[in-house]
Structure 1
Amino acid sequence: MGTTVHDYRSTTALVTGASKGIGLATATALARRGADLVLVARSRTTLDGIAERLRADHGVSVRVIPADLADPGGVQEVLEGLRAGGITVDLLVNNAGTGSVGPHLERPLRPQLDSVSLNISALLTLTHHIGAGMRARGSGGIINIASTAAFQPMPFQASYAATKAFALSFSEALAEELRGSGVRVMVAHPGATATNFFDGTSAEIAAGLADSAEDVAEDVLDDYARGRTASYPGRVVNRVGTFVARALPRRTVTRLTGALNRKLGFHLAQDTAASHHPRS
């Protein structure tokens, strides 16, 4: 076990996508560790309920900023909410994300563009504005939630994997730019996680192959506390898989991933609801 270099009790953390899945689990784990919170998601009602519970259970300050981060206006609402509330963010957790499953050309374009807006543009904008304040103060941290999907092209999840590859490359580059500045950047790569990511489609994660959101959140926060720049939460096979993807030729990896996704039925994924994937 590594040495702990961060104490969350002195931290105000902003978590995006905080209403469900990994975001909710991360917010809960942060509150349990003593961090004050700013929760961002689309539903004020849901956020208010979560905030009330976390305040009662852990005695921390919890503020909410409802916003749809797939909309550039939503990102600005978050930044304005921080300014209006006089909130200084010590730890930014860019967790909110969405993706489309199925053949790219047979899927509606709008959800895929929303995925780019949320997974890339919102992450980039929040990091730029909030990170600038951290840089000026000489302290702070950013955790970007990418995915094991970041390490290889993924047929039938083409746009989603591409957005996560951006998060990986951007995070690694920014971590080096900020080395020695007092601001740390860590990128996390969950594998299959038991969340509602596939709600709205016929795709499913096979039972027993997914980590719990709670386990992922705890591992990510442990890794950040130990000063790591990369986190591979959940089962060991998640990290092993990224090594394989980096060792083999890209064409081979792409074909193998495409074969796996065909086996999982992703090439046949159909909508079962009006929207493709919920945005936290």
Structure 2
Amino acid sequence: MSARTALVTGASRGIGELVARRLAAEGFDLTISARSTAPLDELAAALTAEHGVRVAVAGADMSLEEDVRRLADVHRDIHGGLDLLVLNAGMGAIGAFADYPVRRLDKMLAINLRSAYVLTQELLPLLRVAGRDRPHGGRVIAVASTTGIVGEPLNSAYGATKAALISWCETFSTEESTGGVSATALCPGYVATAMTEGLAETVPQDQMLPPEDVAEALVGLTRLTRRTVVPQLVLTRPGPHLWRA
């Protein structure tokens, strides 16, 4: 049987880069994507050298529908099939609801939700083939957030986009899982990455989730067979209040 194939968005740093590294170590051929291709080129070369896997690089701005559709074309043209779609690209911006810029909400919706919707539609035929023919089926894993489950101050926009992403994953699985294709919303609290550096005064980064743990949890889902659906997986910080970012 040929190697499993994955597409990882937002793969130039943080959780996405760690996921790409772990998937390559598991033997996945990859397409990795981000807005800037320079770090992706370096990562692709390293993964090919270390693990002997095929790695395609595709630059894409996930706020632009034409870029999202072109990304799907790149993956189809180079790999042909798809076992795993990791929707990791995202935008975060906090602010009080009373004066939150609607244009920022619009961009966040485009990146955090609409791009996932469009990209998965484009690649669903390939996922359905994996769902039919592969023991692990076809799997979509979307990196969401606990802010999509429980409200957090200053996260009205970000949390709303992640709540929508969680809902979409659940509905997707109700429609596709009997054919071996399912989606999981991975919902971590604050993760110690570049995106959360500005929150260090509120939550020190050494108290946030290690990005390595988030990547490990995500890759663990890929080891399940198509007979198991995981609608969402919540990862939270230690402490007396579990339902918090």
Give the structure-1-normalised TM-score: 0.76
Distance in 2, Cα, partners of 1:236 & 1:222: 21
Identify if the C-alpha distance between structure 1 residues 236 and 101 changes in structure 2 by more than 3 Å, giving closer, same or farther.
same
Identify if the C-alpha distance between structure 1 residues 87 and 205 changes in structure 2 by more than 3 Å, giving closer, same or farther.
farther
- The count of corresponding residues between Structure 1 and Structure 2 is 236
Distance in 1, Cα, partners of 2:74 & 2:221: 29
Q: Deviations over 1:249-269 (max 9, x none)?
A: xxxxxxxx7xxx9xxxxxxxx
- Mind listing any 5+ residue stretches in structure 2 that lack a counterpart? none
Shift of 1:211: 1.4
* Equivalent in 128, 142, 145 of residue 135 of structure 1: 128
Select between 59-68 and 173-182 the one with higher mean Cα deviation: 173-182
- Mind listing any 5+ residue stretches in structure 1 that lack a counterpart? 1-6, 243-256, 262-280
Q: Is 1:186–1:224's contact at 8 Å kept on the other side of the alignment?
A: no
Partner of 1:59: 52
Partner of 2:191: 193
Distance in 2, Cα, partners of 1:186 & 1:10: 22
Q: What is the 5 A alignment of 1:14-163?
A: 14-85=7-78, 87-135=80-128, 138=132, 139-163=137-161
Give the secondary-structure state (helix, strand or coil) at the position aligned to 2:172.
helix
Q: Deviations over 1:233-263 (max 9, x none)?
A: 465669x734xxxxxxxxxxxxxx7xxx9xx
Identify if the C-alpha distance between structure 1 residues 184 and 237 changes in structure 2 by more than 3 Å, giving closer, same or farther.
farther
Identify if the C-alpha distance between structure 1 residues 42 and 89 changes in structure 2 by more than 3 Å, giving closer, same or farther.
same
Partner of 1:265: none
Letter in 1 for 2:42: G
Distance in 2, Cα, partners of 1:85 & 1:178: 25
Give the secondary-structure state (helix, strand or coil) at the position aligned to 2:32.
strand
Q: Is 1:12–1:89's contact at 8 Å kept on the other side of the alignment?
A: yes
Shift of 1:29: 0.8
Q: Is 1:69–1:75's contact at 8 Å kept on the other side of the alignment?
A: yes
Distance in 2, Cα, partners of 1:222 & 1:165: 23
More RCO (CA 8 Å, sep 6+): 1
Shift of 1:121: 0.4
Distance in 1, Cα, partners of 2:214 & 2:99: 32
Shift of 1:204: 5.8
Give the secondary-structure state (helix, strand or coil) at the position aligned to 1:144.
strand
Shift of 1:61: 0.9
Q: Deviations over 1:210-252 (max 9, x none)?
A: 11111110112113423451323465669x734xxxxxxxxxx
Q: Is 1:36–1:60's contact at 8 Å kept on the other side of the alignment?
A: yes
Give the secondary-structure state (helix, strand or coil) at the position aligned to 1:225.
coil
Q: Is 2:144–2:166's contact at 8 Å kept on the other side of the alignment?
A: yes
Is the radius of gyration larger for structure 1 or structure 2?
1
- Aligned CA-pair RMSD: 2.6
Identify if the C-alpha distance between structure 1 residues 214 and 208 changes in structure 2 by more than 3 Å, giving closer, same or farther.
same
Percent identical among aligned pairs is 32
Identify if the C-alpha distance between structure 1 residues 204 and 85 changes in structure 2 by more than 3 Å, giving closer, same or farther.
farther
Identify if the C-alpha distance between structure 1 residues 65 and 107 changes in structure 2 by more than 3 Å, giving closer, same or farther.
same
Distance in 1, Cα, partners of 2:238 & 2:218: 14
Q: What is the 5 A alignment of 1:187-266?
A: 187-198=185-196, 205-226=203-224, 227-229=228-230, 230-233=232-235, 235=237, 241-242=242-243
Consecutive aligned runs of 4 or more in structure 1 exceeding 3 Å deviation = 104-111, 198-205, 233-238
